[in-house]
């Protein structure tokens, strides 16, 4: 072989080595993390459990990825979001009693470092699109001050899907000062997408984030849809037409069901379009996409069948969340994962994927679940303390724990925002493996197990933060603000919790 041939052979070997090394570096770069949260989506609201529903994009992603069948959430919006962002149980945060309601001078304690704040330290670009719902009365509560580079969406729990203003169906004589406009980019009021269906608007903004992303940096996108939270309004005709063509929900009495189904299909379409955008941008191959609901469905005796209970309840229908993971990084895709996990576990899982395992706080209520999800390994979690709350003034008590296959509900099964003091001494024990629909209360016959789980709850009671659930404050009514903020949901009218 001549000198020239040797030279070319050497260059080819060197090129192969460089490509191999650079390929390894690409593979080892932190993945893009996409967290998509639905609002009030029930166990029975998706096509793989209810053939009346049309959610083909999510079903396709679920079947090609990992379906989560024992992924637990809190029974209400804000508690789940707080657990996701902090890696802690809501009852450790004082967020266990209910959601942050409009005009409440409350929010997620600002002393806690949130998930996006950690991810920024690993070089992530952090974006929140959609529903915040962790407090807005003080600027320190707002998402752009809690680790997000940019935020686009609503501060409150729900607005009309077209007007961005709240509705008060249970309070038809609500004072006009309570009405206001709620769509923000960071802390500025914006009118983008005027009259556009909210679900479609949030999908479009999420696509924009992906398309405009600097590919030299990892991306954390938190996309929190309002759908299908009520009050339900009519979605765009294109979503209803899909059901009309199949003859579903055609009885005039089913118009509300049809509208809600259309909203869920809009959500499904949006999830699919976000994944399409990741692929078009060349980001999907190094992405982990997680989908979850924030709590069980709100439609009584419908949304969560065959599970018992609904939103705001500690029965399975209120807390067992619809969820899946879609990612080319999964080692064992096309898997049904029945391992126990809680919404707080995404905190440690994401930090681990980002290369920040050493930054996970020691006192967190969060486990790194990636080996469980990716390789279908055993879950590091065997227990979830689902609730701890006590109100001595009203004589109320609510506690619940899932330990292995057993679940104890002690006291009222509804969150303590509702008075059920006649249930404060109730005890219900279920074997969730054998009785997932909670029809057979084993407490009378398994007293030793009841005592064991009660002891476990009482051992943690000293770690409970008393619930923060303030009365409505008129200082937050939009109509009482002045100047350009008049009629707008605005910040700066309370003190932040630290």
Give dist(CA 306, CA 168) in Å, integer.
Answer: 31
DSSP states along 178-218: G--B--EETTEE--TTTT--HHHHHHHHHHHHHHT--TTS-
Give dist(CA 418, CA 424) in Å, integer.
Answer: 12
Per DSSP, the three-state class of 450 is: helix
Residue among 330, 400, 341 nearest 69 (CA) = 341
The yes-or-no answer on residue 77 being catalytic is: yes
| 8 Å CB contact between 222 and 127 | yes
Catalytic residue among 32, 127, 133, 138, which? 133
Residues ≥6 apart with Cβ < 8 Å to 109: 93, 94, 497, 498
The yes-or-no answer on residue 133 being catalytic is: yes
Query: What are the residue ranges of helices labelled H in 65-142?
Result: 77-86, 90-93, 115-121
| 8 Å CB contact between 265 and 257 | no
296: DSSP letter: -
Catalytic residue among 32, 77, 157, 184, which? 77
Give dist(CA 411, CA 139) in Å, integer.
Answer: 37
| Cα dihedral across residues 193, 264, 128, 110: positive or negative | positive
Give dist(CA 181, CA 166) in Å, integer.
Answer: 8
Give dist(CA 405, CA 401) in Å, integer.
Answer: 11
User: Which residues form the catalytic set?
Assistant: 77, 133
């Amino acid at each position: 072989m001549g000198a020239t041939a040797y030279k070319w052979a050497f260059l080819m070997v060197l090129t192969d080595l460089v490509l191999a090394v650079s390929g390894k570096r690409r593979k080892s770069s932190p993945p893009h993390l996409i967290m998509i949260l639905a609002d009030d989506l029930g166990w029975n609201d998706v096509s793989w459990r209810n053939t009346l529903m049309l959610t083909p994009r999510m079903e396709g992603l679920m079947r090609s990825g990992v379906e989560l069948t024992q992924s637990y959430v809190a029974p209400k919006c804000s508690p789940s979001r707080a657990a996701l962002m902090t890696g802690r149980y809501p009852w450790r945060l004082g967020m266990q009693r209910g959601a942050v309601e409009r005009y409440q001078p409350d929010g997620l304690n600002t002393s806690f470092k949130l998930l996006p704040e950690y991810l920024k330290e690993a070089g992530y670009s952090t974006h929140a699109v959609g529903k915040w719902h962790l407090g807005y009365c003080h600027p320190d509560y707002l998402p752009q001050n809690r680790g997000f580079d940019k935020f686009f969406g609503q501060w409150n729990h729900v607005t009309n899907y077209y007007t961005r203003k709240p509705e008060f169906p249970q309070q038809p004589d609500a004072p006009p000062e309570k009405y206001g406009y709620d769509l923000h980019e960071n802390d500025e009021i914006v009118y983008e997408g005027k009259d556009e269906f909210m679900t479609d608007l949030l999908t479009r903004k999420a696509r924009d984030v992906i398309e405009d992303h600097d590919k030299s940096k990892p991306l954390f996108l938190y996309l929190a849809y309002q759908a299908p939270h009520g009050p339900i309004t009519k979605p765009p005709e294109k979503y209803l037409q899909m059901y009309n063509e199949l003859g579903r929900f055609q009885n005039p009495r089913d118009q509300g069901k049809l509208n809600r189904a259309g909203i869920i299909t809009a959500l499904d379409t949006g999830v699919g379009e976000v994944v399409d955008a990741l692929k078009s941008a060349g980001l999907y191959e190094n992405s982990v996409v997680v989908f979850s609901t924030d709590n069980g469905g709100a439609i009584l005796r419908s949304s969560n069948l065959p599970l018992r209970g609904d939103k705001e309840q500690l029965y399975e229908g209120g807390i067992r969340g619809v969820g899946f993971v879609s990612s080319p990084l999964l080692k064992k895709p096309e898997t049904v994962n029945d391992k126990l996990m809680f919404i707080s576990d995404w905190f440690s899982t994401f930090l681990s994927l980002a290369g920040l395992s050493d930054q996970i706080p020691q006192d967190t209520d969060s486990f790194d679940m990636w080996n469980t999800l990716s390789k279908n390994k055993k879950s590091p979690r065997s227990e979830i303390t689902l609730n701890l709350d006590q109100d001595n003034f009203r004589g109320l008590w609510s506690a619940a724990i899932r330990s292995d296959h057993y679940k104890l509900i002690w006291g009222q099964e509804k969150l303590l925002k509702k008075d059920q003091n006649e249930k404060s001494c109730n005890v219900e024990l279920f074997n969730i493996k054998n009785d997932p629909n909670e029809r057979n209360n084993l407490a009378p016959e398994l007293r030793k197990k009841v005592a064991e789980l009660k002891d476990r709850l009482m051992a943690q009671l000293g770690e409970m933060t008393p619930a923060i659930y303030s009365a409505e404050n008129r200082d937050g009514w939009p109509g009482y603000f002045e100047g350009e903020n008049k009629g707008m949901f605005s910040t700066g009218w309370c003190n932040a919790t630290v």
